[in-house]
Homo-oligomer: A and B are copies of this chain.
């Protein structure tokens, strides 16, 4: 199956009007008066971001949803995406069909369409590069940089389940459906992100690890974060230490800060979304040793971490 047949058969049906039927050199999008555009791009590679040999639906979800999570962190709503596919010769048409079907499901679930992209043969690595485009009211985007000393720090959902799921996917832990799902099909917190506009002072999505990402938020805000380990929503029975859970990443929850004056509004939001929002710490003035995050144990002493999160070498 050649490139053009593949596009016509599997990807043209995913295209929105901006994609021009995937027949042109580029996508074309009319300006949205009064709105800012939000653009994010992630690369996901087999053996790094999803397991080699995983079903194509997992590759699709672990490629598209981290991008949706980036939009969620800024409070934006999704519009469309461009897809760059690098395909080793060994992948067959069934893989493409399964991959496109999973993208279609997510397009329906999250309200976006395919606008274009590129599809090339790869010497070795199966790689999926997605650029996502979203929109938000002018000037309203949540940023990492808005937190102030005294703000509360929150995180949505649970932390560590995706890391347990990865251990299962790699055959290193017994399978529990819920954790495997957290890894294979993370839930981008789009509704939460949009509801946090006007409520949160800063936000970030947890992709590298809770400690690392709260650290990024603290640094961008020129503050420091103090996290209470006992308040981090780590599910019981996790086949990981708490230290691993808060540094492992892949959670795609939102970490955000908000003034103490809006605690009840955030509690109400948690109720209305049916989503746990845990208050896990407080922002402080930047510490003089420059460490952007401290994690405190129940006895008030500091948890010393050998790493804060995932990094690409």
Known: A4-B311, A129-B129, A313-B89. A118 touches B43 (CB 8 A): yes
Please indicate the chain B residues that have their CB under 8 angstroms from the CB of A173 in the complex: none
Q: How far is the CA of A18 from the CA of B38 in the complex (A)?
A: 9
- Whether A238 is near chain B, meaning CB under 8 Å from some CB there, is no
- Whether A54 is near chain B, meaning CB under 8 Å from some CB there, is no
Cβ contact within 8 Å between A26 and B70: yes
Cβ contact within 8 Å between A29 and B37: yes
Interface string of A27-50 (1 = CB under 8 A from B): 111111111111111111111110
Which stretch in A98-106, A138-146, A270-278, A282-290 binds the other chain?
Answer: A138-146
Please indicate the chain B residues that have their CB under 8 angstroms from the CB of A46 in the complex: 123
Which chain B residue shows the least CB distance to A132?
A: B26
- Whether A120 is near chain B, meaning CB under 8 Å from some CB there, is yes
Please indicate the chain B residues that have their CB under 8 angstroms from the CB of A39 in the complex: 18, 26-29, 82, 115-116, 131, 133
Cβ contact within 8 Å between B31 and A84: no
Please indicate the chain B residues that have their CB under 8 angstroms from the CB of A138 in the complex: 30-31
Cβ contact within 8 Å between B143 and A20: yes
Tally of A interface residues using CB under 8 Å: 73
- Whether A71 is near chain B, meaning CB under 8 Å from some CB there, is yes
Which chain B residue shows the least CB distance to A76?
A: B26
> Which residues 254-313 in A have Cβ within 8 Å of B in the complex?
311-313
Please indicate the chain B residues that have their CB under 8 angstroms from the CB of A48 in the complex: 120-123
Cβ contact within 8 Å between A41 and B125: no
Q: How far is the CA of A42 from the CA of B129 in the complex (A)?
A: 10
Interface string of A140-182 (1 = CB under 8 A from B): 0101110000000000000000000000000000000000000
Q: How far is the CA of A132 from the CA of B26 in the complex (A)?
A: 9
Known: A37-B31, A45-B86. A25 touches B125 (CB 8 A): no
Q: How far is the CA of A74 from the CA of B145 in the complex (A)?
A: 37
Which chain B residue shows the least CB distance to A115?
A: B39
Partner pick for A71 among B26, B37, B70, CB 8 A cutoff:
B26
Nearest chain B CB to A140 CB, angstrom units:
10
Task: For the A-B complex with A41-B84, A43-B84, A89-B313 known, give 5 more contacts whose Cβ atoms are closer than 8 Å.
Answer: A20-B143, A23-B144, A28-B37, A41-B117, A43-B85
